[in-house]
C-alpha cells in the first residue's frame, strides 16, 4: 500500500481502539493490537502526519491520540459499504416489529429496538400527514346521541374521535353518514380529504345537515397536523453512560433533545430511504449538538417517503455498527408501513 493508504489504516486503527476503549491511543498499542505491517517508528511518523493534517489530536501532554471530527469524517467517508447485520439480528428485528398492532406501536417498538441495538438515543418522525391517504373511516354509535369516528390512513395511523350530536340518531342514518364520509375521503391525501369534508354539510340532506356539520368539524381537526405527535424519542439515558464524551455539554444535549424543533432539523435532510447520512460534531447546525454525531435515514419507499429516523450519540461512536442498525430498522419499518 502507498503512504496515504497506510496512514488511513493507522487512522482506522486509532478510531477502532478509541471507540472501543475510550482511551487515547499510542503507537505502541497500535503495533501490538493491529497487524499494520510496519515498525513503531513508521506508525509514529504516520501519526505525526495525521495530527498535522487535523485528523487526530493529542488531548494531554504525553498522552496518545484521539480522532477529531475531521478524522471521523474521513473514516466514515471511506467505509466502502455498510456491513449488513447478521441473519439472527435481522430476524430478531423482523419478529419484534411485526408484532406491532398499529402505527403508534410500530414507532414505539422501532425506537426502543434502535436504542437497544446502538446504545444511543433513537428518534423517529411520525409519517407526515400531508403525505398520508385515507384508507377507511368508520362511524359507530356508542350511545344513541354520540358517535365514534375512527380514521385509518394508509400508513396505519388510527385516530379516534367522539362526537356529541345533541340528538338521537338511528342506525340507518349512521350508515348514511358512514357512506358519505367514505365516499368523500377514501383514497385522498389528508389535505384533500379535509377540503372534501368541509363541503359535506352544504351537500347533506336537510335531515342530516346538523349532524354532518358536527361530524365534519371534528374530522377536520383530526386531519390537521398534530405537532406534539411528530416524534418518538427513546434511549435518552444511554447518553449518561459515558459523561466524559460530552465535556460540560451533556445537559445542553439533553435539553436540546427535548426541543422537537432541534430534533426535526437533525432529520430534515433524511429524504432518501436508500441513503444513510452522518453528521459529525461541528457539522451539526445546532450549537448544543456539536459534541454529538447524528446517523439518519429516510424510511418508507422511494415513491412514498414517510419520514426520517436515526440515532444521536457521541462522536466516539461505532459508526459501521450504528449505520447498519439504522438502515436495517428503517427498511423493516418502511416495509411494514407501506405494506399495510
What mean pLDDT comes out for the span 231-249? Answer: 87
Q: How far apart are CA 109 and CA 174, in angstroms?
A: 36
The residue among 231, 235, 294, 237 whose CA lies nearest residue 259 is 231
The model's pLDDT over 85-118, given as tens digits with 9 standing for 90+, comes to 888 888 888 888 887 877 888 899 999 999 999 9
Confidence label for 226 from pLDDT (cuts 50, 70 and 90): low
The residue among 286, 281, 246, 288 whose CA lies nearest residue 266 is 286
For 71, 172, 199, the CA distances from 177, given in Å and listed in that order, are 63, 9, 14
User: Taking the domains of the chain in order of start, what are their residue ranges?
Assistant: 3-68, 87-126+230-338, 133-226
CATH homologous superfamily of domain 87-126+230-338?
Answer: GAF domain (3.30.450.40)
Phi-psi region of 292 (alpha: psi -120 to 50; beta: other; left: phi over 0): beta
What mean pLDDT comes out for the span 36-44? Answer: 88
% of the chain with per-residue pLDDT over 70: 96
Q: Mean pLDDT of all residues in the chain?
A: 87
Residue 183 near residue 193, CB atoms below 8 Å: no
* Ordered strands of the 231-234 beta sheet: 231-234, 121-125, 305-314, 292-300, 277-280
Q: How far apart are CA 340 and CA 338, in angstroms?
A: 6
Query: Has residue 320 got a pLDDT over 60?
Result: yes
Confidence label for 243 from pLDDT (cuts 50, 70 and 90): confident
Q: Which CATH number fits domain 133-226: 2.60.40.10, 3.40.640.10, 3.40.50.740, 3.30.390.10?
A: 3.30.390.10
pTM, whole model, 2 decimals?
A: 0.77
Query: Has residue 78 got a pLDDT over 70?
Result: yes
Confidence label for 238 from pLDDT (cuts 50, 70 and 90): very high
The model's pLDDT over 156-186, given as tens digits with 9 standing for 90+, comes to 777 788 999 888 899 999 999 999 999 999 9
Residues in CB range of 194: below 8 A, 6 or more apart = 219, 220, 223, 224
What integer pLDDT is reported at residue 130 of this predicted model? 64
Looking at domain 3-68, does it have CATH number 1.10.10.10?
Answer: yes
Amino acid at each position: 500500500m502507498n503512504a496515504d493508504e497506510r496512514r488511513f489504516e493507522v487512522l482506522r486503527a486509532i478510531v477502532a481502539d478509541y471507540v472501543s476503549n475510550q482511551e487515547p491511543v499510542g503507537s505502541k498499542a497500535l503495533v501490538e493490537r493491529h497487524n499494520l505491517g510496519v515498525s513503531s517508528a513508521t506508525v509514529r511518523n504516520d501519526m505525526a502526519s495525521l495530527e498535522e493534517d487535523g485528523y487526530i489530536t493529542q488531548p494531554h501532554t504525553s498522552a496518545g491520540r484521539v480522532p477529531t471530527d475531521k478524522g471521523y469524517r474521513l473514516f466514515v467517508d471511506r467505509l466502502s459499504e455498510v456491513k449488513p447485520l447478521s441473519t439472527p439480528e435481522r430476524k430478531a428485528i423482523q419478529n419484534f416489529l411485526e408484532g406491532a398492532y398499529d402505527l403508534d406501536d410500530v414507532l414505539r417498538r422501532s425506537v426502543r429496538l434502535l436504542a437497544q441495538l446502538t446504545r444511543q438515543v433513537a428518534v423517529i418522525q411520525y409519517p407526515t400527514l400531508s403525505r398520508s391517504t385515507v384508507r377507511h373511516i368508520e362511524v359507530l354509535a356508542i350511545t344513541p346521541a354520540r358517535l365514534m369516528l375512527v380514521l385509518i390512513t394508509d400508513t396505519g395511523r388510527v385516530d379516534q374521535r367522539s362526537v356529541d350530536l345533541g340528538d338521537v340518531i338511528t342506525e340507518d342514518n349512521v350508515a348514511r353518514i358512514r357512506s358519505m364520509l367514505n365516499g368523500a375521503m377514501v383514497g385522498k391525501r389528508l389535505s384533500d380529504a379535509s377540503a372534501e369534508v368541509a363541503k359535506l354539510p352544504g351537500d347533506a340532506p336537510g335531515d342530516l345537515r346538523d349532524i354532518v356539520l358536527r361530524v365534519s368539524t371534528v374530522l377536520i381537526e383530526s386531519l390537521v397536523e398534530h405537532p406534539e405527535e411528530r416524534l418518538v424519542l427513546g434511549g435518552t439515558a444511554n447518553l449518561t453512560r459515558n459523561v466524559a464524551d460530552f465535556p460540560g455539554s451533556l445537559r445542553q444535549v439533553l435539553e436540546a433533545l427535548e426541543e422537537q424543533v432541534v430534533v426535526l432539523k437533525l432529520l430534515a435532510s433524511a429524504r432518501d430511504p436508500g441513503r444513510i447520512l452522518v453528521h459529525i460534531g461541528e457539522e451539526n447546525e445546532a450549537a448544543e449538538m456539536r459534541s454529538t454525531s447524528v446517523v439518519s435515514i429516510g424510511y418508507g419507499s422511494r415513491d412514498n417517503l414517510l419520514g426520517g429516523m436515526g440515532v444521536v450519540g457521541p462522536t466516539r461512536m461505532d459508526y459501521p455498527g450504528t449505520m447498519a442498525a439504522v438502515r436495517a430498522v428503517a427498511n423493516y419499518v418502511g416495509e411494514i408501513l407501506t405494506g399495510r
